[in-house]
Structure 1
Amino acid sequence: MYVALALAVAAVTTASVPATSAATRPSALQWGPCPADVAAATLECTIVQVPLDYREPKGRQIDIAVSRLVSSDPAQRRGVLLTNPGGPGGAGLAYPALLTNPVLPHPLPQSVRDRYDVIGFDPRGVDHSAPVTCDLTPDQIARLNLPYPNNAADVVRDATISKTIAQQCLTSETAALLPHITTANTARDMDRIREALGEPKISYLGASYGTYLGAVYTTLFPARSDRIVLDSSLGSGGYDRTAFQRLAVGMEERFPDFATFAAANPQYGLGTTPGQVRAKYFDLAARLDRTPIQGVDGSLFRGITFEYLYSDLGMPTLAAIWKALDAGQPMPPAPPPAKADNILSSRHHVICGDSPWPKSVRGYQRDVAEHRVAYPLIGAATANITPCAYWPSPVERPVRIGDRGPSNVLMVQNLRDPGTPLSGAQELRKAFGDRARMVTADQGGHGAYLVLAGNTCANDAVTTFLTTGRRPHHDLACPAEPAG
């Protein structure tokens, strides 16, 4: 889920690629200033044209916006490091500037900056790359990603809303793009970017949904993949129905971290033990279900709690929100993100277009009832019906992630990740077989490498791989580190 990373990201040697300098790479691209809303003076931008439909490569072309942060040491330059911050629906043009922002607790190390041109891009359908729309209304946007049904009738209500949204996507001015906004096509776009840059191979750093994008790329183009880093991984099926339901598992695994924090900070008045904090969660959700406070109902409260669990830095704010709502006070108004229609619309396009979803409303009602009991924090929401139930059938089968290809994948994963739980990463690790190694960090939150994550063992393992090609001989478990 595109939240936290957008706000803030003993050895086996892989096959080497000769270092080349920017001055010697063959490339016809014309670089210039980035769009004004990117606002990153360190970046330069360009456009790469790609086929809308790769089955008709000479047919309609669309523009993919690409950014570049040039290597800070051409003598050490190895190649390019493509990046993706997650989503789907997440713009990536400014991501290289975010990763290297010195105000971050853990920006991309200088050693990595020296070895690569760091490349960002807006995936197809997103922001500056043929953006799609579903003409979403403010009320539809305000539902966010996790509307919580309290009963079977609520599922029927959500089915009606989901059907309307799907129909809007199918009839919008960008409807012709809808069948082609998929992860597989974005991976093909990445290879067109590689070709346009004049590079024989690309390295890659992808977070959250970006892990699936990277897994698909290195599956479709194994010979063109150099060093592949997947941070906070979805399962081998990508953002499918199973991954969506896993969010409930992630919240159950992550919530105790917040409960411990709140219990240790009595000024918030949320309880003096983790058990009391958990009870307060259910109490607040039930009260807000009955009587919302200025638009904040139980569903929105649950969703806000889930999203603030993405980072330890969000815990004080979340506790303050709970305290205010507990006292009957409204939250400070939070405007929707800029370009919210495109963010959510492109998200629907990818998630619904990548894999088939169940169609039966009754089946969703059954799943909601079961998951409400199995995962009481938010399980009813993650089992709920979405616009994908009313989406056309995907134009191609999902890409099957397997173990064929070079051993050049390094996965890094927090043990308690709400957005991409450990179980999904373990599934992907198994699918890759000996192609991958996985580094786990005993910490919570979404995003294990750099940016907001402070586990030195995990960070060093990834940086070593990116700069030298050396991976751990076996999967590596990094212990928790003291706070501060």
Structure 2
Amino acid sequence: MTWKRWTATAMRMVAALTALGITVTAAGPVSAGADADDLAGSQRQRLDWHTCQQGSADQAGAELDQAGATCTELTVPLDYARPNGRTITLALSRLRATDTAHRLGVLLLNTGGPGAPGMSDVLPIRQWLGDVGARFDLIGLDPRFVGRSTPLDCGWPTGTWTRSAGPDRATFNQLTAFQRDLADRCARRHAELLPHVTTRNTARDMDLLRAVLGEQRLSYLGYSYGTYLGAVYTQMFPGRVDRVVLDSAVDPAEYGARVVREAGPANEVALRDWAEWAARRHDRYGLGSTGGQVLAMVDGILAAAARRPLQVGGYEVDRQSVPYLLLNRLGDDRDETQADLAETVKVLRQAVLSGSATPTASLADTLSFLFTGAESATGSVQAAILCGDVPVRRDPEHYWRDIRQHRSSEPRFGELTRLISPCAFWPQQPRERPTVVQNAVPALIVQSTGDTRTIYRHGQAMHRALTGSRLLTLRDARIHGVFGNYGNVCVDDAVVTYLADGKLPARDLDCVGHTSP
């Protein structure tokens, strides 16, 4: 997968997650699962490494093969409480270390979601790691029920459950019915699988993979949701961890189906920043010559979509969808992404003025994700993981009150970040209590101060939960997914140095701006 395609996939998954947020009640630790003796048979399995491409249309597999990667399938228990019962398969890729004289072991990757496939992640990350990448066996994993692993697809009419609650009670009621229907579809299709679609089980899968690979310890690089998965692994298997990098971290005490409940203000600020950027380019985009004019035009689009859906290509874009389209591109302050948002807003404005408009290729891809079932599996698995991990309030009135209380301070995004989710109607409560992360496993946590997805205080909270960690802060930047992706030399050098020598910095570190030395 090319870098640009990897970034688009990761950011779309992050945007889908951005309708989330929760307050989790602390709970004590629970068992890591089956005993080693129970898993002995699974641990002795031999992996059949083969080429990755599956058919002539499989471009991602072809790129893996071209890069010298190999692929395989790992068999794991569906239910670790019954390790000898039903099994499922996990698909994974491997780029083996080429500097075998200085090999550092296995580096397992997870770029977020939840529900994002990971097999192609080895390609950009090998590039980002430079010479140290050649010293690791890089492993890209499609977690349980994701991508090429045993599938779970609820047959949704959308790729994401993310929608704004809209401007009034009627639109909130429409959203509530929409979320109930999504949950019901999963209950009808996969009731027997849903209890096992959890982060704790994915952490168990990771440790089984470690054993099958014959490694004493795993190193780990996780982004976004992947930081929560990594933290859960350190809590469940603290003695099996080597080097850990958690980029754009989730507060483990607030992870769940409303994890970005408090991200509305950060996105309001980001939209104002973008409006100033667009105003400086009024000659190109024609959206307004001041930030205030650009914001007023955006608000006009929202008002028009509330009166009547906007015709964009073959899609009707209503008031509950426009905030998603805006927020989808606010997680990155680089010119390419700012321009993409400007082009999106330009199309929406044209639809208001002319009655219809033709979407850009980028916008058409997002609209397909939002309004068709082509990627139903993506949203289905994401919801199943979140709903299977942490319980949420099931009373719609709770969400309606929350939205109303914050409408004035978060006028465009509070109704999106504080929305009700399918988890409010999920057929089963989680089988295990949420993992309380509190340990001294060494880790490097990377966080930008302007992150609009997992806001900066989430990284600080992860730092406090992992008492042996160091926090690397990127200041004066708005980006979710910093290392390698953003091109900040200061951050990239610090991460690579840590992965190379395994020594955390003596203190927390700061980097500044886009490409600081």
Q: Same fold by TM-score, threshold 0.5 exceeded?
A: yes
Name 1:214's counterpart in structure 2.
230
In the alignment, structure 1 residue 398 sits paired with structure 2 residue 434: yes
- 1:257-336 to 2 correspondence within 5 Å? 257-266=273-282, 267-294=284-311, 295-311=316-332, 312=334, 313-328=336-351, 329-332=356-359, 333-334=364-365, 336=368
Instruction: Normalising by structure 1, report the TM-score.
Output: 0.88
Change in 2 beyond 3 A, CA 1:130/1:271 = same
Change in 2 beyond 3 A, CA 1:169/1:447 = same
1:28 counterpart (46, 51, 54)? 46
- 1:164-175 to 2 correspondence within 5 Å? 164-172=181-189, 174-175=190-191
Change in 2 beyond 3 A, CA 1:250/1:131 = farther
Contact conserved, 2:163 with 2:175, CA < 8 A, in 1? no
Q: Which ranges of structure 1 fall in alignment gaps of 5 or more residues?
A: 10-25, 101-106
In the alignment, structure 1 residue 49 sits paired with structure 2 residue 75: yes
Name 1:199's counterpart in structure 2.
215
- 1:422-437 to 2 correspondence within 5 Å? 422-433=456-467, 435-437=468-470
Deviates more, 1:221-230 or 1:304-313: 304-313
In the alignment, structure 1 residue 78 sits paired with structure 2 residue 79: no
> CA shift at 1:217, angstroms?
0.6
In the alignment, structure 1 residue 114 sits paired with structure 2 residue 148: no
> CA shift at 1:256, angstroms?
3.6
Counterpart-to-counterpart distance in 1, 2:494 and 2:105:
20
Change in 2 beyond 3 A, CA 1:6/1:372 = same
Change in 2 beyond 3 A, CA 1:228/1:160 = same
Name 1:13's counterpart in structure 2.
none
What one-letter code is carried by the residue in structure 1 that aligns with 2:47? Answer: L
> CA shift at 1:27, angstroms?
8.3
- Secondary structure, in 3 states, of the residue corresponding to 1:308? coil
Counterpart-to-counterpart distance in 2, 1:238 and 1:209:
12
Deviates more, 1:466-475 or 1:389-398: 466-475
What one-letter code is carried by the residue in structure 2 that aligns with 1:362? Answer: E
| Offset from partner CA, 1:408-466 (integer Å, 9 cap, x none) | 20010111112211122222222222x21111112112111112x02211111111111
Counterpart-to-counterpart distance in 1, 2:415 and 2:349:
23
Contact conserved, 2:488 with 2:515, CA < 8 A, in 1? no
> CA shift at 1:97, angstroms?
1.9
Contact conserved, 1:439 with 1:475, CA < 8 A, in 2? yes
Deviates more, 1:352-361 or 1:325-334: 325-334
Change in 2 beyond 3 A, CA 1:300/1:247 = same
Contact conserved, 2:260 with 2:453, CA < 8 A, in 1? no
- Secondary structure, in 3 states, of the residue corresponding to 1:440? strand
Counterpart-to-counterpart distance in 2, 1:5 and 1:479:
26
What one-letter code is carried by the residue in structure 2 that aligns with 1:158? Answer: L
| Offset from partner CA, 1:314-346 (integer Å, 9 cap, x none) | 211210121232233524233635951110100
Counterpart-to-counterpart distance in 2, 1:466 and 1:5:
25
Counterpart-to-counterpart distance in 1, 2:506 and 2:273:
31
Counterpart-to-counterpart distance in 2, 1:280 and 1:27:
60
> CA shift at 1:4, angstroms?
4.3
In the alignment, structure 1 residue 420 sits paired with structure 2 residue 454: yes
Name 1:103's counterpart in structure 2.
none
- Secondary structure, in 3 states, of the residue corresponding to 2:108? strand
- 1:374-393 to 2 correspondence within 5 Å? 374-391=409-426, 392-393=428-429
Change in 2 beyond 3 A, CA 1:250/1:191 = farther
1:64 counterpart (85, 90, 110)? 90
Deviates more, 1:303-312 or 1:185-194: 303-312
Instruction: Normalising by structure 2, report the TM-score.
Output: 0.83
Change in 2 beyond 3 A, CA 1:247/1:213 = same
Counterpart-to-counterpart distance in 1, 2:358 and 2:402:
32
- Over the matched positions of the two proteins, sequence identity in percent amounts to 36
Counterpart-to-counterpart distance in 1, 2:192 and 2:253:
25
> CA shift at 1:405, angstroms?
3.6
| Offset from partner CA, 1:3-56 (integer Å, 9 cap, x none) | 7463699xxxxxxxxxxxxxxxx9832211125233221221111111111111
Counterpart-to-counterpart distance in 2, 1:162 and 1:481:
39
What one-letter code is carried by the residue in structure 2 that aligns with 1:336? Answer: S
> CA shift at 1:242, angstroms?
4.5
> CA shift at 1:301, angstroms?
1.9
1:368 counterpart (389, 403, 423)? 403
Contact conserved, 1:249 with 1:421, CA < 8 A, in 2? no
> CA shift at 1:253, angstroms?
4.0
Aligned length: 453
Q: Which ranges of structure 2 fall in alignment gaps of 5 or more residues?
A: 1-5, 15-43
Contact conserved, 2:257 with 2:421, CA < 8 A, in 1? no
Deviates more, 1:91-100 or 1:63-72: 91-100
- 1:119-158 to 2 correspondence within 5 Å? 119-137=139-157, 140-141=158-159, 144-158=161-175
Name 1:236's counterpart in structure 2.
252
Name 1:14's counterpart in structure 2.
none
2:196 counterpart (180, 189, 192)? 180
Counterpart-to-counterpart distance in 2, 1:72 and 1:7:
30
| Offset from partner CA, 1:207-226 (integer Å, 9 cap, x none) | 11111011101111111010
Contact conserved, 1:155 with 1:361, CA < 8 A, in 2? no
